[in-house]
Structure 1
Amino acid sequence: MQGIAVEESRKRWMECQGVKNWEGLIDPLDDTLRAQILSYARFVEAAYRCFDFDMSSPTYATCRNDIDSMLAQCGIGNHRYRVTKNLYATCTTSVPRWMERILNLASSPESSWIGYVAVCDDAEEISRLGHRRVVIAFRGTATAREWLENLRVILTPLSVDLATPLPDCSGDHRQPMVQRGLLSLYTSGGDGRQSLQDTIREEIREIVKRYGGKGEPALSITITGHSLGGALATLVAYDIVTQFGGHEAAVPLVTAVSFGGPRVGNGGFKRELEASGAKVLRIVNHDDPITKVPGFVFDDVAGLGVPAWLQKYAKYAAYAEVGKELRLSSKDRRLPHAKVMARSAINVATCHDLNTYLYLIETF
């Protein structure tokens, strides 16, 4: 009987991680999945709480808390998760000097703390979950330089290792491409730091080496984030699977959980992502405009019926929605206090706020 219970527990957590693309779990929202989504949102909350937003502070754009105590200080305690790595992202966008002064870029460092990696080390929690959970959590846009990266919305070709520039195959509309600023943020290094990509790859390699042996609990890797962090989560999930999923049996499932994330890539990227086996759950507030940018959504520019000369340029703004969508709405009449939420729906910041997403998930 115990063996059956263990197998059922394993089956359940894998379903909530998206092994069957959340079939039958979204509408109505399964309570176990709801609890899991909310738990990931708490990790994202911690990334926001730990970040130093004070531009006058000497520690601006860094983590305000010690790596050993940050989760406990943010309310994710009981020593169940251990932060193993701080994560930094580097912005490389250059602007004219007059714009640097207007945007006060001198006070905005190139590399900023953007999140962390945490591993579940608690035997009781591992038993309850049915596996050992690894969480990579990202905050959203916070610095002026990151806003500039957000504005680099033109799609750029994606290589296998993401960091190697590819030639532009203008005639191939199936070529995988992602947002230029997002890719740069992930693959660039600076301020004496290695790239976010290299840091994550090295850390996942160490985690798999340490916890992926025989007799160890199964591993799950979940990348989660809000806004810019949600887009990063999708890109990182794809990168981890393509780097480790094919030959690391200890990593059975890699999942991205995105809260209010903007679009990431084109139809070619969508196809590559699906073929890789990475699972993506996008939580979207219908009234949040950030989830509707950048670009426009067409899976195949060649099928738009536009002139061939225009296709060459249109493909750089033709994005595709990826993954499984959990669509919420601030105006949903089924929700308690729907009138209050409907009034706040006109406020872009409120609709995009992580706390709004938490409320909508709790009451969906």
Structure 2
Amino acid sequence: MKHVTGILRPCNAFLTINPSQHTLRSRKSSTKINASVKIAANSWDSEQCFVNPKAGKLIRHKWMEFQGINDWEGLLDPLDDCLRAEILRYGEFVEAAYRCFDFDTSSLGYAMCKYPKCSMLTQCGMGKKGYKVTKSLYATCGVHLPDWADHRIPNWVSNQFSWIGYVAVCNDKNEIARLGRRDVVIAYRGTATCMEWLENLRATLTSLPADMSPDSCEPMVQSGFLSLYTSSRGRRSSLQDSIREEIDRILHKYADEPLSITVTGHSLGAALATLTAHDITTTFKHAPLVTVVSFGGPRVGNKSFRCELEKSGTKVLRIVNCDDPITKVPGFVLEENTTKTSNWLQKRVEDTQWVYAEIGKELKLSSRDCPHLSNGNVATCHDLKTYLHLVGNLVSSSSCPLRATA
């Protein structure tokens, strides 16, 4: 696992939150539970970020490099302007997932999408991006509450089924020409419901099911994330089944075109993005290039899972704020080059099902590099808006000078 730690051009204050946006109009307890999610749902100011206006025009001839075909070699230090623009663009798709989600626990549509597919991106200010939403995605929590809980806790607390993201396909000829291929985006929001928080707490590793790891039983992932991805209830399909069905349809429909699949998400959504990408490359043997662009994601799986991802050709760009504690959980990591323990002891430690591995290529940021964020709390450090601001102002590794215009 490689990473690049960056420094920033001088930042402007940008964290003033409008309390009228994305607020919960009901119970104080639900407000506390969803505090960090509400912050993430606020839009970020792209004008405060350094993005070369010509960068977007240079993508078509090198798009596979920006999608990680060479593991982003030479693009992260300093951060390539085209790659910066692409990271921010995919971040907007994640932000749209937050904006579409109904956070109001008093609403009949709580935990669902507020808009129909046909107008979803338009309602989020992305109507001119050249993409069309083709599938809404739902996740089912696998945690089973005791029978007595059905009569003693509010429905919004025990809600186990929620809208978690969407699939969008680029359908604009000009945008396809600019990108050099037809791009498929799968975007996930982060944790929002009580039951999703419970799934997050199921932090021990568990083996992947046989259909997700046909060649080996060693790959293991976090129990709660896998539960959210594979659980179903009644007539409601699992998130996994919905993804497989939609990707199969898309691959057949656009079989004769250059195609890419980009899975992106924040927090819990970043973890689900990694599982989704692995599932696609495992299920569809002739899948196009599959890339994960994750923001503030927790650890997902063990070393064997990482090896399977790398073997399958899945590319993962993990964008991490080193001041964000969510990126340092769950479990702990044993680095091979620093561990002095015997094989016997290391095996015993791994048997605890708490030994994770860092996955993908990391682009490390730091809130402390921005004066107006240096004293930020956990919610601010984990906020999607913070991530997008830091990426937009990133210059290079700490050994390089700031831009002359900074």
TM range (shorter): 0.7 to 0.9
**Which residue of 1 is the match for residue 202 of structure 2?**
152
Amino acid at match of 2:362: E
2:184 to 125, 134, 138: 134
Q: Which residue in 2 is equivalent to 1:178?
A: 221
SS in structure 2 at match of 1:114: strand
Instruction: Give the aligned partner of residue 372 of structure 2.
Output: 340
Q: Does 1:228 align with 2:258?
A: no
Equivalent of 1:278, from 298, 303, 314? 314
User: Is the 1:226–1:260 Cα contact (8 Å) retained in structure 2?
Assistant: yes
Shift of 1:162: 3.1
Among 334, 344, 354, the residue aligned to 1:298: 334
- AA at the equivalent of 2:381: C
**Equivalent of residue 115 in structure 2, options 41, 62, 65:** 65
Q: Quick one: which amino acid aligns to residue 149 of structure 1?
A: E
Counterpart Cα distance in 1 of 2:81 and 2:346: 50
Q: Quote the offset at 1:192 in angstroms.
A: 2.7
Query: What's 1:171 paired with?
Result: none
Rounded Cα–Cα distance in structure 2 between residues aligned with 1:180 and 1:225? 19
Match of 1:327 among 351, 364, 378: 364
Quick one: distance in 2 between partners of 1:233 and 1:299? 24
* Aligned equivalent of 2:237, options 178, 181, 194: 194
Distance 1:227 1:89 in 2: 15
Cα distance between partner residues in 1 of 2:179 and 2:259: 11
Offset at residue 315 of structure 1 (A): 4.1
Of 76-85 and 289-298, the range deviating more from structure 2: 76-85
Distance in 2, Cα, partners of 1:79 & 1:147? 32
Distance in 2 (CA, whole Å) between partners of 1:93 and 1:312 is 27
Q: Cα–Cα, structure 1 residues 154 and 99, in superposed 2: closer, same or farther, change >3 Å?
A: farther
CA contact (8 A) 2:71 2:361 kept: yes
Q: CA deviation at 1:195?
A: 0.5
1:37 to 72, 82, 87: 87
* CA spacing shift, 1:189–1:206, aligned 2, 3 Å: same
Correspondent of 1:237 among 277, 280, 294: 277
Cα deviation code 1:100-126 (max 9, x no counterpart): 788746644211000000000000000
- Bigger helix fraction: 1
| CA–CA separation in structure 1 for the residues paired with 2:118 and 2:229 | 25
Q: Return the alpha-carbon distance in structure 1 between the equivalents of residues 87 and 153 of structure 2.
A: 36
Structure 1, unaligned stretches of length 5 or more? Answer: 1-7, 168-174, 333-337
Displacement of 1:158? 1.5
Which digits, 9 at most, give the CA deviation of each residue in 1:156-200, with x for residues without a partner?
A: 011342399x98xxxxxxx21000111111011125310100100
Alpha-carbon offset, residue 298 of structure 1: 1.7
- SS of match in other structure, 2:375: helix
TM-score (ref. length: structure 2): 0.78
1:84 to 118, 134, 144: 134
Cα-to-partner distance string for 1:207-231 (whole Å, 9 max, x where unaligned):
0111112xx3x10000000000001
Q: Which AA in structure 1 matches 2:293?
A: V
Secondary structure of the corresponding residue to residue 117 of structure 2: coil
- Give distance in 1, aligned partners of 2:264 and 2:326: 17
Pairwise CA distance, 1:77: 1.0
Q: What TM-score do the two structures reach when normalised by structure 1?
A: 0.86
**Does the 8 Å CA contact 2:110/2:156 hold for their aligned counterparts?**
no
Q: CA deviation at 1:299?
A: 5.4
1:125-171 alpha-carbon deviations (Å, 9 max, x no partner): 0001111010000000000000000000110011342399x98xxxx
Question: Which residue identity lines up with residue 65 of structure 2 in the other structure?
Answer: E
SS in 2 for 1:331: helix
Query: Structure 1's 310 and 252: CA in aligned 2 closer, same or farther, altered over 3 A?
Result: closer
Give the SS at the match of 1:342: coil
Matches within 5 A, 1:116-135: 116-135=166-185
Amino acid at match of 2:264: T
Deviation at 1:252, TM superposition (A): 2.7
Q: Contact 2:130/2:172 (CA < 8 Å) preserved in 1?
A: yes
Paired residue secondary structure (1:62): coil
Partners of 1:353 and 1:40 in 2: CA distance: 16
8 Å contact kept, 1:53–1:142: yes
Distance 1:279 1:309 in 2: 28
Distance 2:293 2:248 in 1: 21
Q: In 1, Cα distance between the equivalents of 2:247 and 2:335?
A: 32
Q: What residue identity is the alignment partner of 1:359?
A: H
CA distance in 2, matches of 1:100, 1:299: 45
Moved more, 120-129 or 307-316: 307-316
Please tell me whether the aligned partners of residues 334 and 357 of structure 2 are also in contact (alpha carbons under 8 angstroms). yes
Match of residue 386 from structure 2: 356
Separation (CA, whole Å) in 1 of partners of 2:77 and 2:147: 51
Q: Which amino acid aligns with 1:150?
A: N
**2:139–2:238: 8 Å Cα contact kept in structure 1?**
yes
Q: How many residues align?
A: 335
Tell me which moved more, 100-109 or 234-243: 100-109
Give the CA RMSD over aligned residues: 2.4
Letter in 2 for 1:195: S
